[in-house]
């Protein structure tokens, strides 16, 4: 006997099927969170909490810049983040709408929007204040950015600007060092400001505060964290210069035993 399903019942069954696919349990994010035009971004989908997508042998991403035409692309597993995290690398030139699932087509469920950053305008006033040497106004403006965008890359950039003011304009090396340390401890290692802070802090330790052991440790940490960075040659040069101080420190420690 053939069972007839009317249009309403079919739509209900389809929606029930789509909802049961655990879209809401999928953890979707991208880095950098606020990309600039032309940036390479990595889109992640952690499906470890979803029963449906967790067992998928392939996940796809559907991309659109006009919310009309979508292109579908296969995602890759990122085993460094576990067995159930899928990734897709994308160069963004316009605000991009996307959906992730294991389907070959787009079904308008649980979409996400990546907006190109307007960071230049966020920091525009601070840059104007800095150019006019209104340091107090500039720092207050930057602190407001840090509080508003807590943990975001724009906050790291604002805090780095404050550190640079104390370093270059005020020559307050200890205060600048505290800001660099805070950036290193608070933000992800992928942020450019963290990498720059690590190098600059080590340089301050070695050349202004005479914390030679701390400088050596921080330079070595930089080399482990960013082994292929262009600054490695400069760091090796700095470590070579610091080696004599390291030997003197060890000699003093041994003589005091």
Exposure string for 82-105, b = 16+ CB within 10 A, e = fewer: eebbbbbebebeeebbbbbbbbee
Whole-model pTM over 0.75: no
- Is the N-terminal amide bond of 110 cis, ω within 30° of 0? no
Q: What is the CATH number of domain 119-255?
A: 1.25.40.10
* pLDDT band of 5, cuts 50, 70, 90: very low
Domain ranges of the chain: 20-114, 119-255
Give the pLDDT confidence of 231-242 residue by residue, as tens digits.
999 999 999 999
**Class in CATH terms, 20-114:** mainly beta
Which class for 175: exposed (0-12), middle (13-18), buried (19 or more C-beta within 10 A)?
middle
Q: How far apart are the first and last CA of the chain?
A: 95
Question: In CATH terms, are 20-114 and 119-255 the same topology?
Answer: no
CA distances from 252 to 147, 245, 246 (A): 45, 11, 10
Assess whether pLDDT exceeds 90 at residue 120: no
* pLDDT value of position 12: 45
- Distance (Å, whole) CA 126 – CA 163: 14
Give the pLDDT confidence of 148-167 residue by residue, as tens digits.
888 888 899 999 999 999 99
């Amino acid at each position: 006997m053939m069972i007839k399903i009317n249009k309403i019942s079919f739509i209900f069954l389809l929606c029930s099927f789509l909802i049961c696919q655990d879209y809401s349990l999928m953890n979707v994010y991208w880095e950098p969170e606020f990309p600039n035009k032309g940036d390479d971004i990595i889109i992640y989908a952690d499906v470890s909490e979803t029963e449906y997508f967790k067992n998928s042998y392939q996940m796809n991403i559907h991309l659109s810049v006009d919310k009309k035409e979508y292109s579908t692309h296969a995602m890759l597993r990122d085993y460094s983040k576990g067995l159930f995290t899928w990734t897709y690398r994308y160069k963004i030139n316009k605000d991009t709408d996307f959906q992730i699932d294991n389907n070959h087509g787009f079904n308008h469920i649980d979409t996400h929007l990546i907006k190109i950053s307007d960071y230049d305008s966020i920091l525009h006033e601070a840059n104007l204040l800095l150019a006019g040497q209104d340091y107090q106004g500039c720092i207050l403006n930057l602190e407001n950015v840090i509080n508003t965008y807590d943990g975001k890359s724009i906050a790291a950039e604002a805090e780095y600007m404050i550190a640079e003011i104390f370093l270059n304009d005020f020559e307050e090396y200890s205060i600048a060092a505290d800001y660099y340390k805070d950036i290193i401890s608070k933000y992800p290692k992928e942020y450019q400001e963290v990498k720059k802070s690590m190098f600059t802090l080590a340089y301050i330790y070695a050349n202004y505060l005479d914390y030679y052991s701390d400088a050596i440790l921080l330079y070595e940490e930089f080399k482990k964290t960013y082994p292929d960075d262009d600054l490695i040659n400069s760091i090796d040069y700095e470590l070579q210069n610091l080696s004599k101080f390291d030997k003197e420190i060890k000699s003093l420690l041994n003589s005091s035993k």
